[in-house]
Amino acid sequence: MKLFPLAARVCGLMAAALPAALVNSPAAEREALALARQALAREVTGSKMTLRPRSSLARFRAGAFVIVAVQDRTRACAGTVEPTCASAAEEIVSSAAMAAAGDPWHPPLRKADLLNGRVEVCLAGPPARISSIHQLDVRREGLLLRSGDRSAVILPGEAKTADWALREARRKAGLTAKDRAQLLSFPAVRWREMSPPRQERNPSR
């Protein structure tokens, strides 16, 4: 499976927010993407396959999002900014299960989506409160918006401007421009496959 160069997609490397041994590891990148695809396939096919992640992702805790993009459009996306599992590996598996099941914006994944789609994994570091949306670097940091029991996330690279990120987060959370909300930014590393499996098997198409 082909991967983009690691350095091209490292986002938001804030001091000690994500372990350097994780962020700077091509092995962790390969493992994260393979684990996410295996977990997605297990959910979509109903397989009883046991997933055995290697130690590079099992030694750290981090929030994780799993994304499937088909023809450069998001087909599935789910995850959490703050970790809920014992390791980054378990977090990826959990997020893949949520992504495969579907959400209010995306129906459940199908086998064809996995054949035609690229898998992405975004590992998130600890969020920190910001006083202004203009403190957000949309290329390097994610946005977490909270208001009561409502919340929304914009991942690094999804927005071209901070203002758009805020408007989209409010829309996702079902909030108006007048509703009060807490803004937090978080560092992240985002990895993605270079091409879907079907294209790799049919390079001439």
Q: What is the model's pLDDT at position 10? A: 36
Lowest mean pLDDT among 12-16, 63-67, 144-148, 183-187: 12-16
pLDDT band at 81 (very low <50, low <70, confident <90, very high): very high
Average pLDDT, the chain: 86
Q: What is the model's pLDDT at position 54? A: 67
**C-alpha to C-alpha distance for 36 and 91, rounded to whole angstroms:** 10
DSSP string, 132-179: SGGG--TTTEEEEEEETTEEEEE-TTS-SSHHHHHHHHHHHHT--TTS
Q: What is the model's pLDDT at position 201? A: 54
Contact 173, 145 (CB under 8 A): yes
Q: Classify domain 15-197 by CATH number.
A: 3.30.700.20
Q: What is the model's pLDDT at position 5? A: 32
Q: What is the pTM of this model?
A: 0.85
**C-alpha to C-alpha distance for 202 and 32, rounded to whole angstroms:** 24
Lowest mean pLDDT among 13-27, 81-95, 103-117, 186-200: 13-27
The residue extents of the domains of the chain are 15-197
pLDDT band at 97 (very low <50, low <70, confident <90, very high): very high
pLDDT band at 171 (very low <50, low <70, confident <90, very high): very high
Residue 205 has pLDDT above 60, yes or no: no
Give the pairing of strands 141-147 and 182-192: antiparallel
Q: Per-residue pLDDT averaged across 79-102, rounded?
A: 95
